[in-house]
Amino acid sequence: MLRSILRSSAAAAAARASSIFPDLPSTAAASRNYSKAKTKTTTTNKGKVRVKDPRAVSADDASARTEDSSSVSDDIDTEFELPKDPLPPTYDPALDVGPGGRPLFTITKSFAPLTRKESHTYVDISLDEWKAMLPEGLPSGMTKEFEETRRCAVMVRQSFLDLRDNFRRIVDPPLRSGTKNSKKQIVLDGPVSCGKSITLAMLVHWARSEGWLVFYVPKGKEWTHGGFFYRNQHNEFWDTPIQAAKVLQDFLKFNEGHLQQLPCQISDPVLLGEGAGVGLMKGADSMTMPEGSTLYDLIQTGITYSHAAVGVLVRLRNELSLVKDVPVLFVIDQYNNWFTFSEYHELLTWRSSRQIHARELTTVNAYRSMMHDDMMVGAFSHSTAVGKLRQELPDVPLDARVMLPRYTLDEAATVCHYYLRQRLIRRENFSEDKWKKVYYVSNGNGSEMRWLASFI
């Protein structure tokens, strides 16, 4: 039943694509931007032969296979290789042309000097620099964009400039307007594939290039899934020591220099819990940091001793709120996963259990709240959503939510010209009418536009 539904959906999608793109070239012509397709076949347990890429087959064979009901499902399992045609030089004035003849790229090493004049242009940054500035990891959507375009460039959108200038005004307010219209706590929301994660990554890159101390969590869902979990002996929360140790290691990767210069300002002992798979520490339930310790020493303690990982991560949150020598920014992606249930269950009886909410986790409870005076921005990730949220969220200011739109028509024009530059689109088939069709069919969805671009 399910396979018949998928077959009818695939046939309807093909009919719609042919009606939208009447000048769509034949299957063989459309595959010129791609390397030679895989023709290796595999046989399932039922004896059916499944072709990995129908583009490698002639038109007659493709039509014959379409008539065969046993092979209609091949379209569902199609896998294409990324384009491997030689790319033109990195910068070529004759090719780097955007809509209306405007420059397609802005040559800069930082997002700091960008203004409205540079919006709707691309900034080219090497993959090594991206990894150096964001050692915690790049968003999956950004990684996929880099792989398919074979270039680590991102488009400067007005929404990013507004977000950057919002926090810039807080740290360095202008003489006239001050911080009157600025928000210290922001929740980015918007439809799927509107660029929230990429916007956060660009914000982290800018803030760190400015010398800020940034606590960046690219995958908030990992805080509530996987690893061991234990009841905290000091309260009613649950500890996740494996996740806590990983967060401490990631935070140390880029910020080590700052942390070595920042002294600990809280002298209370750090509470200990159960270590990952090793139980409680015998004869001790807390650990006191030596006098004169820095935040670097504090984090190293949490990494070295699994029993102290959760307590150190909670203490780090309190210590960062007291830092005044350098601006501190908390950036949380997949923030919505901290307002729904985790994958952990508390055993009530031998026949029943209770699912643990994210707010009951010690680390999430310490970092989730926005009811403070620190700069913090979180982004919803609807692709990793594990539940539906109400409009008004607990521990979040009422005016914190900011809607991030999908591509506008002007932004889509720049995107399609960039894909033309990177040879995802055949130049002889490119026209304004066709890229506008791509925009309207995808409704500005970035990943869908990238997929549809190959059909122009």
pLDDT single digits (tens) 252-287: 999 999 999 999 999 999 999 888 888 788 888 889
Residue 455 pLDDT:
84
Residue 10 CA to its chain's centroid (Å): 29
Domain count, the chain: 3
pLDDT surpasses 50 at 90: yes
164 within a domain of the structure (yes/no)? no
Together in a domain, 381 and 416: no
397 pLDDT band, cuts 50/70/90, is very high
Together in a domain, 325 and 355: yes
If DSSP codes are grouped into helix, strand and coil, which group holds residue 411?
helix
Together in a domain, 59 and 137: no
CB 241 within 8 A of CB 274: yes
Together in a domain, 250 and 366: yes
If DSSP codes are grouped into helix, strand and coil, which group holds residue 422?
coil
Residue 295 pLDDT:
96
Tokens encoding 208: 């760190």
Together in a domain, 27 and 104: no
37 within a domain of the structure (yes/no)? yes
Together in a domain, 243 and 212: yes
192 within a domain of the structure (yes/no)? no
pLDDT single digits (tens) 159-191: 999 999 999 999 988 866 656 678 999 999 988
Together in a domain, 281 and 380: yes
CB 319 within 8 A of CB 215: no
CA distance 65 to 56: 13
179 within a domain of the structure (yes/no)? no
Share of the chain above pLDDT 70, in %: 79
Mean pLDDT score, 299-324: 95
pLDDT single digits (tens) 186-234: 999 988 889 999 999 999 999 999 999 999 999 999 999 988 999 988 8
The domain boundary residue, chosen from 81, 107, 131 = 81
Instruction: Name the residue range of residue 294's domain.
Output: 198-403
161 within a domain of the structure (yes/no)? no
The domain boundary residue, chosen from 386, 403, 420 = 403
The domain boundary residue, chosen from 380, 403, 426 = 403
The single residue listed with the structure tokens 């982290």 is 204
Together in a domain, 313 and 454: no
54 pLDDT band, cuts 50/70/90, is very low
Here the contacts of 224-229 (C-beta below 8 Å, separation 24 or greater) are 224/337, 224/338, 224/342, 224/343, 224/344, 224/358, 224/361, 224/364, 225/342, 225/343, 226/343, 227/276, 228/274, 228/276, 228/277, 229/344, 229/356, 229/361
Together in a domain, 229 and 335: yes
- Taking alpha carbons only, the member of 375, 371, 446, 390 closest to residue 414 is 446
Together in a domain, 346 and 424: no
pTM of the model: 0.79
